């Protein structure tokens, strides 16, 4: 992706790398899952699509994942603290995708169907 804003591009890249790294960590802790790795890679690739509203869709996905796992992560914080930390980071990434002007500048192209 040719970023229109390099600072936003670095943040997007960081979020994509975090998403894949989180999946790899979860595979180490909970067992190998090729499907979850492929989904994480697809999500990371999706972040590099420079089309309007992709950032909002990606933020919604991150927020949904964090909120859906929140009750289980809170129920036993002593053994789930790493997952709770992942949820907090997911929410931070979602908020950045929606509110950061440098990131939003990279998602300003319209889809052209001809």
State the average pLDDT over residues 60-76. 90
d(CA 101, CA 93): 14
d(CA 23, CA 50): 24
Label residue 1 by pLDDT band (50, 70, 90). low
If one compares 36 and 111, the residue with the highest pLDDT of the two is 36
pTM as predicted: 0.90
In this prediction, what percent of the chain has a pLDDT beyond 90?
69
């Amino acid at each position: 992706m040719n970023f229109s804003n390099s600072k936003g591009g670095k943040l997007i890249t960081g979020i994509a790398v975090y998403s894949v790294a989180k999946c790899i960590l979860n595979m180490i802790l909970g067992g190998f899952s090729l499907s979850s790795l492929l989904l994480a890679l697809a999500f990371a690739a999706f972040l590099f699509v420079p089309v309007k509203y992709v950032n909002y869709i990606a933020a919604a996905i991150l927020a949904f994942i964090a909120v859906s796992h929140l009750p289980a992560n809170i129920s036993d914080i002593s053994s789930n603290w790493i997952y709770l930390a992942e949820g907090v980071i997911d929410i931070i990434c979602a908020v950045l995708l929606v509110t950061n002007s440098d990131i939003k500048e990279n998602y300003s192209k319209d889809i052209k169907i001809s």
